[in-house]
Amino acid sequence: MKTLNDFDFKGKKAVIRVDFNVPLDENFNVTDDTRIVAAKPTIDKILNDGGSAILMSHLGRPKGKEEKYSLKHIVAKVSEVLGVTVKFVEDCVGADVEAAAAALQPGEVLLLENLRFYSEEEAGDEGFAKQLANLGDIYVNDAFGTAHRAHASTTIIAKFFPENKCFGSLLAKEIESLNKVLNDSKKPVTAVLGGSKVSSKITVIENILDKVDHMIIGGGMTFTFIKAQGGKIGDSICEDDKLDLALDILAKAKEKNVQVHIPVDVIAADGFKNDANTQVTNVTEIPDGWQGLDAGPKSLENFRKVILESKTILWNGPLGVFEMENFAKGTIALGNYIAEATESGAFSLVGGGDSVAAVKQFGLEPKMSYVSTGGGAMLEMLEGKTLPGIAAILE
């Protein structure tokens, strides 16, 4: 696996695929700079070596050239994070871009305009990829969030750098962290899978059953498993067409000696709102008109024992509707148990949009071993898929 440390960037121009798809407010201010900060170590190494950096990214899902999706809005924030005045060019291919890249001096950074202003980017167009490749000497992919897409800037471009391509430090860390969980883990290994749908996690579950000792199931998925086993779930969310699948998963887990832990009690509410009336109820006896919106106290006690005995923990998906304060307690408690286990030497990997949002919201991020930056990409790796952006560097 070629990384930044395999290259000396002195006098070289590095073309770096970063993931600067950051949220902006109505005045185009960056509201969360996590992804920019995450790319800093890669850019710093290149500049410190005496090289220059050409940054390319997408922002949003523009239809053609749309001013509101211009990367010019983030230039000030990128400059602030890097501590370098970042130059910007109002295109990503063409004569102006080539001139700006050619003029770039060691220690300088150039940000290109949004790649997705061109349909050729998402189409994986070879001619477009070659124009990007012509801008530099070494290709660095540091965008885990888009590594599962075979786009021009994430995959196709790599073929123009047969020897001079590598992973940036962020992408290398993502791969290492996932390998630690999937292929190189200390036992016992526990996977916590939450969220609302079994259907979105089914391939993940099937792929990790061979690698884990415990599987904690939480969130809305719980009720599909409970109903499949004959429990009464009231008005709780449920995928009625996945009941057989849930039973099949439980049977496979038993076959492979994986212990499955499902909530035994829930915080039930008489409406899907923060100020609804609530009661703690057995998960198999939720009254009609009520729905389970968070894990109950007995469930949390059971989960705590499992987590604290684990040496490797993967967390993907919340235990309840954590966006509402009254149904966030389960997710917060789980985060605290994982933090405690991590402090005692366990390796914890958090990934998937909602789990990442939760650890950030509740200040738990620094207490986890690694928090993944790519939701879809991480899920695909957990499903056992080879990501095109990663394969392109390894080829």
- Point out the residues that are catalytic: 35, 197, 353, 376
Yes or no: say if 234 and 291 are a contact pair by the CB < 8 Å rule.
yes
Q: How many CB atoms lie within 10 A of CB 145?
A: 26
Q: Give the number of other Cβ atoms within 10 Å of residue 255's Cβ.
A: 9
> Which residues are CB-contacts of 97 (< 8 A; sequence separation ≥ 6)?
89, 91, 112, 135
- Residue positions forming the annotated binding site for substrate: 19-21, 35, 58-61, 116, 149
Q: What is the CA radius of gyration of the chain?
A: 23
Phi-psi region of 65 (alpha: psi -120 to 50; beta: other; left: phi over 0): beta
3-state DSSP assignment of residue 174: helix
CA angle 207, 209, 213 (to 5 degrees): 145
CA distance 175 to 177: 6
Token couple for 250:
């439980």
d(CA 55, CA 182): 31
| Dihedral Cα 64, 69, 70, 73, nearest 10 deg | 170
Distance CA 379, CA 52 (A): 33
CB of 236 closer than 8 Å to CB of 223: yes
Residue ranges of the annotated binding site are 19-21, 35, 58-61, 116, 149, 201, 292, 323, 352-355
Q: Residues 221, 201: contact at Cβ < 8 Å?
A: yes
